[in-house]
Amino acid sequence: MASFLEDEERQRLQAQYSEIATLAGGLAHEIKNPLSTISLNLELLEEDLRDDESPQSRRAQNKIHTVRRECRHLEEILNAFLQFARVGELETSPADLNDIVRDFIEFYQPQANDHGMEISPHLASNLPAVAVDSSLMRQVLMNLVLNAQQAMPEGGLLEFQTYEKDGRVQLNVIDNGPGMDEKVRAKLFQVFFSTKPGGSGLGLPTVRKIVETHNGSIQCESEPGRGTRFTISLPAS
Ligand SMILES: Nc1ncnc2c1ncn2[C@@H]1O[C@H](COP(=O)(O)OP(=O)(O)OP(=O)(O)O)[C@@H](O)[C@H]1O
Ligand SMILES: [Mg+2]
């Protein structure tokens, strides 16, 4: 009887959650359109004033510049939010995680060079296949790597390790950046938690949601001054 009630309660909460999620997604969409009209008109206004070098026009241009920057920030937050809300529909196919990691490294290498990031892959051979949505897994890698890059503005080392453990396929993404203290680590996966100016704080929550939708798990080990390691574990297919 108790478990029946629990089931009913869970279903009620689930329905409530998806209603709120749908509403929030719709709201984000509704905000995006007028926001892009505002951005576009600000851009046109900026162009109109460009040749006017009077102090009054310069002041106006500075203000327009600030408002445009804030619009871009809002657009980024809305896009990250919509991305977060969309995760859940997977198009999986059996894949070799090593291939996904190799493709990603090839794609990211030019940016890594620009930021002084050295990449070191250690990919186990004979890795079992995993059933994944490759484009979402790429997004997972991108979010983790961007965080590492942003944590190491002077550059650093980024390591990718794949291996099999207890019938699961594991991926470590390790950086030798500044690491995190206990306080930051405790909030890492909380929606909207960010220590960066302009950060949306949706990167890692999206990563976790993608991984968990694949029936996987993600863990983080990090210590100030000793770098950060994210470990993703996926069921072998
Ligand atoms: N590799 C890392 N090294 C140090 N700190 C990290 C690392 N990865 C994440 N963090 C910390 O975790 C916080 C949350 O990360 P998350 O990716 O969710 O959001 P964000 O990077 O701040 O913003 P967004 O990804 O939405 O642009 C970051 O603000 C940062 O403080
Ligand atoms: Mg991030």
Which among 196, 200, 210, 231 is the best mutation to test ligand 1's pocket, defined by most ligand atoms within 8 Å of the CB? 196
The alpha carbon of 230 and the centre of ligand 1 are apart by a number of angstroms equal to: 12
Task: Give CA–CA dist 170/164, Å, rounded.
Answer: 6
The CATH H-level superfamily of 93-235 is Histidine kinase-like ATPase, C-terminal domain (3.30.565.10)
Per-residue pLDDT tens for 8-48? 888 888 788 778 878 888 888 899 999 999 999 999 999 99
Ligand 1 contact, 204 CB (< 6 A): yes
* Residue 147 in contact with ligand 1 by CB distance below 6 A: yes
Nearest CA to ligand 1 atom 22: 194
In this prediction, residue 5 carries a pLDDT of: 65
What span, in angstroms and rounded, lies between the C-alpha atoms of 184 and 172? 20
pLDDT one-digit tens code per residue, 162-200: 999 999 999 999 999 999 999 999 999 998 899 998 888
Q: Where are the domains of the chain?
A: 2-86, 93-235
Mean pLDDT within 51-64: 95
Q: Does domain 2-86 have CATH number 1.10.1060?
A: no
Q: Which of 111, 80, 73, 104 is nearest to 203 (CA)?
A: 80
For residue 219, the number of C-alpha atoms closer than 13 Å in the C-beta half-sphere is 7
With beta carbons less than 8 A apart as the criterion, state whether 155 and 170 touch: no
Rounded distance from Cα 72 to ligand 1 centre (Å):
19
pTM listed for this prediction:
0.82
